[in-house]
Amino acid sequence: MLDIQAIESKGWLYHFVERIFSLHPSLHWISVGLITTLLSFLLILNRKWVSHFPRYGYMASVVATIALLDLFTQTIPILTVYLIVLGYVLFRASDERNYLITISFFITYILISAYTEWSYLRAIELVSHGLLFVWVAWISDQVRDRFFELKKQKEKTRRLIDQKNESNRRLREFQKELEETYLRDSLTGLYNFHGFQEQVTRGLSRCAHSLSYHVVCFDLTDFRQINMKDGNDTGDRLLVQIANLLKRHLPPSARIARYDGDQFAIGLMGDGAVLRRLIETVEFVLAELKANHPLLNYCMASASYPTEAKTGAELIRQAEDRLMLAQRQRRDKEEEHRLRLEKLSALGQLAAGLAHEIRNPLTSIRGFVQISAVESEAVKKWESIILPEIDRINDLLKQFLNLSEAKPVKVTRFNLNRLMNDVLSLLQPKSLLMGHELIGHQPDQPVEMEADAEQLKQVLINLVQNGLEALSEKGTVQVSWQKSEEQVHIQVMDNGNGIPPELCSRIFEPFFTTKDEGTGMGLAICSRIIEDHGGIMCVTSTPGLGTSFNIQLPLKQTTLGEVVISEEYPPEAEPEKAEVGALAGVQDGADMVASLEKPQSALEPMEDSAEAEQKEGTEEQETAEADQQERDNKGTKRTAEEAVRKRKPGKMQAPKVEPIKDKQKREKNMRGEATGAQEASGASAPCNEVVGLAGG
């Protein structure tokens, strides 16, 4: 047998290491542990730190470390460690050449083996070990190539995934833009009908049990006329202005939509106070734009969830149905107004003919009656009957002309408190003669407004006179006025017998009257005057409890020409509270009788164009009228004296003025009585109320 031990010989490196560590075995194994730790540290370094080594520096460090480990472990075979480390270094090396790394590891392994332990068979073993190094190098190279190829594929795949994600993101954005285009109005950027319906549905899903969701719709009724007058560009700019103002004044939670051209809708969550503020905001926005667009008129309606609808679609439909009803009512009112204007036009032609064809014979008849009365006692006996009838016909002709001819509006800025006190002072004697009470309710602050003061005074006198004449027994007529934002509200209320519901809607028609005497043109003229000022006049009445006339006028006039300061009722002058409604210059019954020179007619007569043609050659008629006036005054004075003698002696009392709180308490009691009467009878006058009028 071949004796392996006999042919093996230890090299000088073996003896060198053995001689060093023979006296300190623990130091030997500590050194082996430190070298193993260093090798492990080099192997686990990440690529970032490896890149800091110079070229072949990392490989040289690993080779030196494993050589020390091989040297210190003496005869312990560590070929496997060489191969593993070689494969790992080859896998991590990127810039170094593989064959150089393999040769370096193999030469190191051969040298240490040769100088540590050598035999003839060792040479054959080293050849086989060299083949292992080559095989590991080839395997490592293949693995590294596949790894980097896989890494490239992975990077490419990652880029493709990123591109796919970016494409998906852009696709979602494009889809969102398409949805926004589908759900948004292109002109204003607001939601369209589909978008608004979706937003309302989402709002209802988030609506708590204690809250409500409100939808307010409004439509620009005369928007087509704005386009026809100023052009489509102006109309588009107006729509954009409305949208921007709504966005500015409404809270961010409000959902605003525009659809059907000139129709807008707003959805907002909240209680009843939120709904009121929402409506006030819309009215404020439209009022702000109306200054530059006089044709900007609108209809508005609202609906609330869950009291009036259970779903979003039902809520929107409910609001739109109410808006359509408001539009229909407005169209009916405009048609009624158009027919009324046609009647007035026909009446104007008739009045002009009557004024010319009848007044001339009346003048002659009056003159001949007065002359005949002087010459004949038989004629004088009938003079007091004939002349008043002639005057009544003449007054009727004047009212015809007043109703048919549009009197120019002279806009002035005046103090409404002074004008109202003037009206109360003027009609206070008549109320005393009739045994009624005339009460004025003046606001705490003076009210300044722009209008034709004389025409407004004419309307108020007519309404107060009608109220006094509607009282059968001792009753009360209350006049109140107050300012509310950009409007003034005036109310004339009596506690008479009221107007039957079937007649309530006809009282503003020409020639319609509920009195035994009268032409039926007074309220028609009043209605026309209020409409000329851009206001509204309506009536509410409950049979047996009384009637209330409500007037709503703008504080400022923007379409009736230049505004001047009133000389009769200057806005800077304000009477003291103690003098509210006082009768200027009236101190006792005799003075009151002197002030009643002639009973007030239903309306102060207006000057007409035909009257100027009759001024020439009427001196004789004026003399006769003066005589008749004197006789009428004597009769009126006697009647007034009898009425005053029945009252207690002393100074005349001023018209009664109640504080606002007392007035509200009185109106509350009256409304309570009205409610009880309506519940008992089940009838009320079908008239529209003006929202915001005190006691309306």
Q: Per-residue pLDDT for 602 more than 60? A: no
Average confidence score pLDDT of the chain: 75
pTM greater than 0.75 (yes/no): no
How far apart CA 445 and CA 371 sit, in angstroms, is: 57
Q: Per-residue pLDDT for 58 more than 70? A: yes
186 vs 548, more confident: 548
> pLDDT per residue over 94-143, tens digit each?
655 777 777 787 788 777 776 666 666 666 777 777 888 888 878 777 77
Contact (Cβ atoms closer than 8 angstroms) between residue 27 and residue 21? yes
Pairing between strand 564-565 and 412-415?
A: parallel
The angle at the Cα of 642, spanning 636 to 644, to the nearest 5 degrees, equals 100
Tokens of 36: 């193993």
Q: Please report which confidence band the pLDDT of residue 616 belongs to, taking 50, 70 and 90 as the band edges.
A: very low
> pLDDT per residue over 111-123, tens digit each?
777 666 666 666 6
Lowest mean pLDDT among 297-301, 497-501, 504-508: 504-508
Tokens of 287: 């009022």
Strand partners, 264: 218, 258
Within a 10 A sphere around the Cβ of 496, how many other Cβ atoms?
A: 23
Owner of token pair 């070929």: 79
Contact (Cβ atoms closer than 8 angstroms) between residue 183 and residue 202? no
Tokens of 199: 């937003």
> pLDDT per residue over 190-199, tens digit each?
888 888 988 8
Q: Dump the DSSP string for 355-373.
A: HHHHHHHHHHHHHHHHHHH
How far apart CA 555 and CA 13 sit, in angstroms, is: 118
In 376-415, which residue ranges form alpha helices assigned H by DSSP? Answer: 377-404
Tokens of 195: 């978008």
How far apart CA 108 and CA 128 sit, in angstroms, is: 16
Strand partners, 548: 493, 540
| pLDDT at residue 7, rounded to an integer | 44
| pLDDT at residue 234, rounded to an integer | 87
Question: Which helix (H) or strand (E) covers residue 181, if one does?
Answer: helix 120-183
Lowest mean pLDDT among 26-35, 520-529, 620-629: 620-629
DSSP 605: P
Kindly give, in sequence order, each residue whose CB lies less than 8 Å from that of residue 240, ignoring residues fewer than 6 positions away.
187, 188
Tokens of 256: 């605003």
Owner of token pair 């035994």: 516
Contact (Cβ atoms closer than 8 angstroms) between residue 184 and residue 192? yes
Lowest mean pLDDT among 139-153, 548-562, 681-695: 681-695
Contact (Cβ atoms closer than 8 angstroms) between residue 439 and residue 477? yes
Half-sphere exposure of 448 (CA within 13 A, CB side): 11
Identify which of 44-58, 236-250, 286-300, 640-654 has the greatest average pLDDT: 236-250
